[in-house]
Amino acid sequence: MSLQIGEIVDGKYRILERLGAGGMGEVYKAEHQFLRAIRVVKVIRPQISASADAHERFLREAQLATKVQHPNVATVYDFSALPDGSHYMVWEYIEGENLAQVIRRRGVLQPKEAIRLTVQTLAGLDAIHRAGIIHRDISAENLMITPEGNVKIIDLGVAKAEQGDYAATQTGMFVGKLRYSSPEQLGFLQPGEKIDSRADLYSLGVVLFEMLTGRPPFEATSPHQYFIQHSGGTNVQPIDLTLLPNPLRPVLAKALESDRNRRFANAREFSTALERVPDTAAAETVRTPIPTQIAPKPRRSNDAQNAIIIGGIVLLLAVGVLATWLYRSRPPVVAQQQQKPIVTTTSAAPPTTTTVDVAPPQPVPQPVVTPPPAPASVAVPQPEPQPKPQPAEPARRPPPAVRQEEPQPEISTYVEGTGNDAAVVYAQQQLRGVNRVSLESSSPELEPLMRKLGLTISDDARVSIRFNGIVTRMRFGRKRREGRGWITKNGRTIFRYEMKPEEYRVGDTPAEAFARVLSDVFGR
């Protein structure tokens, strides 16, 4: 079904422009007539959605997708049927361009930026997988980059309906996505096995490789060749990881394992591995173009460099001659002070001042001895006993290690939608083995959720949990939520949680979101 510009769909969505088409149907930019909000309307072709099984799959996926509320995932707002039998889904409209367009425009992304975009995508995938959804169509085309540089995963739910429809390769639509498909999606599974979330991690590994090199790890001219390359067989040429910065090679090698049991177990494990990659990975790539700019220097300054070297040698020789002359001229003066002045007057005759000073001492021997000792005694650094002021050492001891422990609780602030792995890890270390907690909450629903995690609520527990969550209902089905939580152990705060005020339609309540984070903190 093709819609016309200006046409009203289902009495609510006015079509503004056609954005594109795919194997499933048409994609349009539309405006909600009542909310005045821009949306994306995807109309699924009647021949695809005619069967009852297809309709049930689409409806189930739409229901699951509405449970995903994450800043890195596009939101599904609506799902319905049209009079001609076709179905449509309404998605969040995202300003910007997809990652494939970014790569075509820029060629290669710096490792630091590629890692940042991949970590954001993994955060969105983690939310999708927790909702029980497997995207199955992670690709550079399905990752939107906002003007602020943030990632939004799109086409959630529709890709799963395409799984197994290999007839789509006849049209060429699925050929492009074969570059990112995991071996499981291409049928390399043992009897009884099913595709799981690790398929999305494999596809994202292909995307990361493409961001870093400008090309995907597998390239072919036919679907059959892609099947062979993704299979990871013994006759298949391995992926050339030497194109990647050294610190990223083991991460990509694990993400692109053909055997899913050797890949990262989940999105968080993949994200943690990327966050541990040192910043030197970016420096490796930045250094490659610099030699082309620095190379001209040796060509145009060989003579100048030789002149500088010769000049330096001459300067060193001059300094050496001067130092030798000074050294040979000073010893007589030293001897003049150590020996009798009568001997020094003969050797130091040229200076007129010395002959005048030496003349008086000759008649009186004793005064000759007294004048030199005075300056000699002053010149001798006898005050050197002063280095014994060792009281300065206690001044270095005051900075004890205790002060360095104080900032540790500062890492324990977890912001919903942004996360903080360091906060979770720190709390896990402090709460290892804890099963009994006390609870003080303004949300009654939190207690049963905590009991489902296997936690026992007791007023005399050493670990205390406090939580305040607020949900405000607004017009047109909108709601506003916010929340704050604390975990203390023996009276000391070790973890803080914050859900900043935000509007939403479908999603977790503050208590449900906090309980989800608690499951990670307590390792449940």
Percent of residues, the chain, with pLDDT higher than 90: 36
Q: What is the pLDDT of residue 369?
A: 45
Percent of residues, the chain, with pLDDT higher than 70: 67
Q: What is the pLDDT of residue 171?
A: 35
- Give the integer Cα–Cα distance in Å for 346 and 365: 17
Under a CB-based contact definition with an 8 Å cutoff, are residues 10 and 80 in contact?
yes
Q: What is the pLDDT of residue 327?
A: 60
Q: What is the pLDDT of residue 233?
A: 61
User: Among 202-216, 231-245, 247-261, where is mean pLDDT lowest?
Assistant: 231-245
pLDDT digits 0-9 by tens, 77-107: 888 888 877 888 898 999 999 999 999 999 9
Kindly indicate the confidence band of residue 178, based on its pLDDT and cuts at 50, 70 and 90.
Answer: confident
Under DSSP, is residue 74 helix (H, G, I), strand (E, B) or coil?
A: coil
Q: Which carries the bigger pLDDT value, residue 438 or residue 175?
A: 438
pLDDT digits 0-9 by tens, 1-18: 678 999 999 999 999 999
pLDDT digits 0-9 by tens, 302-361: 555 556 677 777 777 777 767 666 666 554 444 444 444 444 434 444 444 444 344 444
Radius of gyration of the chain (CA): 38
Tokens of 314: 């001459």
Helix, strand and coil content of the chain, in percent to the nearest 5, comes to 45, 20, 35
- Of residues 467, 456, 472, the one with CA closest to residue 517: 467
Q: What is the pLDDT of residue 411?
A: 57
**What's the per-residue H, E or C state across 168-183?**
HHHCCHHHHHCCCCCC
CA torsion through residues 227, 228, 233, 239, sign: negative
Give the angle subtended at the CA of 335 by the CAs of 330 and 337, to the nearest 5°: 105
- Over range 144-169, report the average pLDDT: 65
Type of residue numbered 304? A
Under a CB-based contact definition with an 8 Å cutoff, are residues 318 and 148 in contact?
no
Tokens of 231: 């299979």
- Over range 51-66, report the average pLDDT: 70
Q: What is the pLDDT of residue 318?
A: 74
**What's the per-residue H, E or C state across 180-208?**
CCCCCCCCCCCCCCCCCCHHHHHHHHHHH
- Over range 236-256, report the average pLDDT: 90
Give the angle subtended at the CA of 313 by the CAs of 311 and 316, to the nearest 5°: 110
Type of residue numbered 484? R
- In whole angstroms, what separates CA 226 from the centre of its chain? 31
- Of residues 419, 441, 448, the one with CA closest to residue 487: 441
Torsion-angle region of residue 149: left (phi > 0), alpha (psi -120 to 50) or beta? left
Neighbours of 218 (CB within 10 A): 20
Domains along the chain with CATH numbers: 8-92 (3.30.200.20), 97-160+175-188+195-279 (1.10.510.10), 407-521 (3.30.160)
The answer to whether residue 44 scores a pLDDT higher than 50 is yes
DSSP per-residue letters across 240-294: -GGGS-GGGHHHHHHHT-SSGGGS-SSHHHHHHHHHTS-THHHHHHHHTTTHHHH
- Over range 29-33, report the average pLDDT: 95
Q: What is the pLDDT of residue 276?
A: 94
Under a CB-based contact definition with an 8 Å cutoff, are residues 146 and 125 in contact?
no
- Of residues 476, 473, 471, 477, the one with CA closest to residue 508: 471
- Give the integer Cα–Cα distance in Å for 184 and 169: 17
For 438, phi and psi rounded to 5 degrees?
-100, 155
Whether residue 196 lies in the annotated active site: no
User: On the CB side of 17, how many CA atoms lie within 13 Å of its CA?
Assistant: 3
For 486, phi and psi rounded to 5 degrees?
-140, 145
Type of residue numbered 77? Y
Report the helix count and the strand count for the chain, using DSSP H and E: 23, 15
Burial class for 324, CB neighbours closer than 10 Å (0-12, 13-18, 19+): exposed
- Give the integer Cα–Cα distance in Å for 75 and 72: 9
Strand duo 436-441 + 143-145: pairing: unpaired
The answer to whether residue 371 scores a pLDDT higher than 90 is no
The answer to whether residue 37 scores a pLDDT higher than 90 is yes
- Give the integer Cα–Cα distance in Å for 334 and 342: 14
For 371, phi and psi rounded to 5 degrees?
-60, -45
Beta strands in 369-504 (DSSP E): 413-415, 436-441, 456-457, 463-473, 479-489, 492-504
- Give the integer Cα–Cα distance in Å for 523 and 517: 10
Tokens of 158: 């529709």
Q: What is the pLDDT of residue 467?
A: 94
The answer to whether residue 368 scores a pLDDT higher than 60 is no
Q: Which carries the bigger pLDDT value, residue 304 or residue 251?
A: 251
Q: What is the pLDDT of residue 22?
A: 63
Under a CB-based contact definition with an 8 Å cutoff, are residues 495 and 486 in contact?
yes
For 104, phi and psi rounded to 5 degrees?
-65, -35
Q: What is the pLDDT of residue 187?
A: 82
Under a CB-based contact definition with an 8 Å cutoff, are residues 180 and 216 in contact?
yes
Q: Which carries the bigger pLDDT value, residue 318 or residue 30?
A: 30
Q: Which carries the bigger pLDDT value, residue 145 or residue 315?
A: 145
Q: What is the pLDDT of residue 53?
A: 64
Pick the catalytic residue from 126, 137, 155, 200.
137
Q: What is the pLDDT of residue 354?
A: 40
Q: What is the pLDDT of residue 284?
A: 56
Tokens of 347: 């050797």
- Over range 239-266, report the average pLDDT: 94
Mean pLDDT of all residues in the chain? 76
The answer to whether residue 221 scores a pLDDT higher than 80 is no
- Give the integer Cα–Cα distance in Å for 217 and 203: 11
Q: Angle formed by the axes of helices 421-430 and 267-275, to 10°?
A: 100
- Give the integer Cα–Cα distance in Å for 466 and 430: 17
Q: Which carries the bigger pLDDT value, residue 520 or residue 207?
A: 207
